[in-house]
Amino acid sequence: MLPQEESIAILKQFLNHFKYAHVQRMTVDAIESLVRIVLMENVFIYEKKYYRQIKGGAMGSPLTLTLANIFMWHWEKTLVEPQRNSNELYGRYIDDIFFTSNDSIDKVNKMLADANKRHSNIKLTATIDNPIPFLDIHIKNTANNFITSVYHKEAAEPYVVPFQSDHPRHVFVNIIDCALLRAIRYSSTLQEFNHQRRTLKLMLLYNGYPTRYIYSRFNKFFAKCSITSTSIIPMIHDENEFLFLRRQLLEQATVPEHRRAARIAKTMDYNNFHSNIDPLVKAKLLKRRERANSIILHHTHEKRFSHYKRDIHRIWNDIFHNTPVQTTKLIVGTRNNPNLSKELVRRSPFIRNRNKNNKKQTTN
């Protein structure tokens, strides 16, 4: 649970430490005032009563997650420094920490006990073992070498979106491509990757994916990643080529990095930007410029409307052929059907009553 006043003080310390006098034209004082409003004026409804949160922040809020990371940045300073000085590994994702040590178990336990005394709201639960899972990675120390692979929880069921479900085709493509990408990035050896590849193939077969479709997607994925025009089969059996491919994919931008670049690009003018900006942000700006003269139509996906995209383009060409409008690019895409949680979610009484009042005013 984040202490509100202390979190705001640490946020200011964080901004000053990294010399952020302004963030998107906002001063540190303005940011403090806005954060104070979000944290301390957060209200919710329970059994027709209004409550104001006085500890922590709203779960799922981007601001709460950011403040938690900054709070942990401040807390972990005394833990990180000894690790750096002794050339050990240290990593953290939100409140999950991974580090290595050559010290005795007693010394490590004492270090963790001291860390638990630093703040009443932070208590570490330690797991010291070999091998050990961290997030979704399985890490093993073998002869002073780390062997990594994809971690599968024992209770996890081998389910993905069934092939017979009413989803756009790109959903099934993304499932396979993302799983292969994760297997390559997480597997430190070719042997581990081949094991993950076989596991993925069995899971897809279990969920109704045709064998021909699976092999087709595997081949297209490897053909897209291959640096040579030769068959991909030798690469699967060649350790050096696999490690080269893995190194290439590890250097690619991750999904959070793409999202961050997209957020930054939205705040910039795509017709006027510096050439020395981040390449990923530049790519997002160029994509915005390319789509500036486009019309994007989305419709809810249904298999019976599989011809819809083709028909829309045909009608567009029939009507606007040889007209200035033809230079406008038409993009027809699909939206997924709403999932069950969205259909069954309960809206708050305040929102329901407000919608009823709006309808009454419209009727009158």
Per-residue pLDDT of the chain (364 residues; tens, 9 = 90+): 788 899 999 999 999 988 888 887 889 999 999 999 988 888 888 888 898 888 888 877 888 888 999 999 999 888 888 888 888 889 998 889 999 888 888 988 898 898 888 888 888 888 888 888 999 999 998 888 889 999 998 888 889 999 998 888 889 999 999 999 999 999 999 999 999 999 999 999 999 999 999 999 998 888 887 655 444 444 466 788 888 889 988 888 888 888 888 888 787 776 666 667 888 888 888 888 888 788 888 888 887 877 888 898 899 889 988 888 888 888 888 877 776 666 666 555 545 555 555 555 544 5
Amino acid code (one letter) for 38: V
Distant-in-sequence, close-in-space partners of 288: CB < 8 Å, separation ≥ 6: 265, 270
d(CA 116, CA 6): 18
Q: How many Cβ atoms are within 10 Å of 215's Cβ, its own excluded?
A: 11
Tracing tokens 């002073």 back to the chain, one arrives at 144
Strands 329-335 and 294-300: parallel
Q: How far apart are CA 81 and CA 132, in angstroms?
A: 23
The label of the residue with tokens 């999904």 reads 255
The DSSP-derived string for 149-172 is EE---TT-------TTSS--HHHH
Q: Which amino acid is at 61?
A: S
Phi/psi at 333 (nearest 5 deg)? Answer: -125, 180
Helix, strand, coil percent content, the chain, rounded in steps of 5? 55, 15, 35
Residue with tokens 């750096």: 84
End-to-end CA distance of the chain: 47
| DSSP single-letter state for residue 55 | S
Contact 318, 330 (CB under 8 A): no
Among 4, 14, 10, CA closest to 64 = 4
